[in-house]
Structure 1
């Protein structure tokens, strides 16, 4: 036991010396801050310097999902990795959630930080929020990248497997009375994806910011739904990653980061082919 402890201590000392200690993204006191906006205490972490980049996580997740994203972009951007209300360290005691609420939170946070606009990268629910943010607060979004996003919650947008799983979850939970605060919050977060979003394809014509629409070829979002999102945006890129599921930014982290960065820096964004 003593030898094992000494070995662990020696390994830690070597990692520190080589600058290899793991950063606790999503729970990093050195980078974490709270901002009270719209009556909600939002947690976010800030890294790097340069043009602001807002990172938005998926349902039930937190900013720790961007552990493979933040180190790359923090070299050239001021990265803001936010925990959405009712997620991670962000506190929300309201009874319901909507993507409009989440998008308005993002806009309010940027305003409080005195940022006129930001690049936005969203995964899953974060991708939906990025699109809603661009619709409701167009002046706040320079460009957006959304991976694994859907516009409505049914089997025409989601794979049959995911939709059946969600239906079972709803049937199991709808008759329960949640007295525990944590389980009550989890149910509220589940209902966000069960009931929302409801964005008509025609509304995407109002997105002024250039958009990069991304999904895996084995994503839980139907590929034809992802393509339809791309086709209805005025200025957009499309990327369907081969050999990838829903977690594109994890499964292909290096390529993902480079492609998104290239999009953010591209001089022109051609409209999609009709």
Structure 2
């Protein structure tokens, strides 16, 4: 009897320990799949059920960046956390990247998943991709939230410290020959932000989807640049997060998630009256 009780207790504790294991977002065999899209094998993970929500990560990152985002939204949405081409587990053997490529990949993936459209949440490069997706494939975007996005690559959009760091990185890398595939891929990913994007402010008038533009007040994106993005969108909300850097969705995860969901659910996206 005692041995049976002890065995049951150990079994219960074992199940409890397993239940407390963190979900390996970005490397979760239970949720991960591959899709052959536009000649590239894209990796994505799906969580929850409901209206589709596409999550787009930043430069050099992967879907694991959304570990504080996915659990919240998976309660009400079908969350699709994508590794962009040449990032995470998505392999891309081409020699260059552009945000147009990334946006077209997103549209093709949604089509392959038989989704007419989706809500979109992008961070940094993912925010840029979200805006480009809304411009190139307006029918695919219900609403978009973009945090830490920029429209062009120079010191008028990026804070001086980051721009100088990028200039040094380019000077050091431009004469090198990368034989190691990993370093060659890293250089291609770096060049994405060095050379792109190139979105005129006037082009934002073509974004039909309501947009929520977000940045930290200590972001690597100039605050005036973020405000200009907001001002040139037809229907938009703006949130400059106090006491936050570039990682708004990590530093203030709970508030970030609540505000983004409130935007997705809002009946009216009119600008506040002055």
TM-score, with normalisation over the residues of structure 1?
Answer: 0.94
Which residue pairs with 2:87 in the alignment?
Answer: 87
Cα distance in 2, alignment partners of residues 194 and 111 from structure 1:
30
**1:273 to partner: Cα distance:** 6.4
**1:12 to partner: Cα distance:** 6.4
Which residue pairs with 2:179 in the alignment?
Answer: 179
* Mapped contact 1:236–1:272 kept (Cα < 8 A): no
**1:20 to partner: Cα distance:** 2.2
Higher gyration radius (CA): 2
Q: Alignment RMSD, CA only? A: 1.5
| Equivalent position SS for 2:79 | strand
Which residue pairs with 2:206 in the alignment?
Answer: 206
Cα distance in 2, alignment partners of residues 221 and 182 from structure 1:
28
Q: Unpaired segments of 5 or more residues in structure 1?
A: 1-8
Aligned residue runs from structure 1 range 76-155, under 5 A: 76-155=76-155
Cα distance in 2, alignment partners of residues 45 and 12 from structure 1:
27
Cα distance in 2, alignment partners of residues 198 and 232 from structure 1:
15
| Equivalent position SS for 1:144 | strand
**1:21 to partner: Cα distance:** 1.6
Cα distance in 2, alignment partners of residues 13 and 172 from structure 1:
51
**1:134 to partner: Cα distance:** 0.1
- Count of equivalent residues: 264
- 1:108-166 C-alpha deviation (Å, 9 max, x unpaired): 00000000000000000000000000000000000000000000000000000000000
**1:252 to partner: Cα distance:** 0.3
User: Which segments of structure 1 move beyond 2 Å, counting only runs of 4 or more?
Assistant: 9-16, 271-274
Q: Unpaired segments of 5 or more residues in structure 2?
A: 1-10
| Equivalent position SS for 1:120 | strand
TM-score, with normalisation over the residues of structure 2?
Answer: 0.94
Which residue pairs with 1:260 in the alignment?
Answer: 260
* Mapped contact 1:46–1:81 kept (Cα < 8 A): yes
- 1:40-96 C-alpha deviation (Å, 9 max, x unpaired): 000000000000000000000000000000000000000000000000000100000
Cα distance in 2, alignment partners of residues 56 and 262 from structure 1:
19
1:15 aligns with 2:37: no
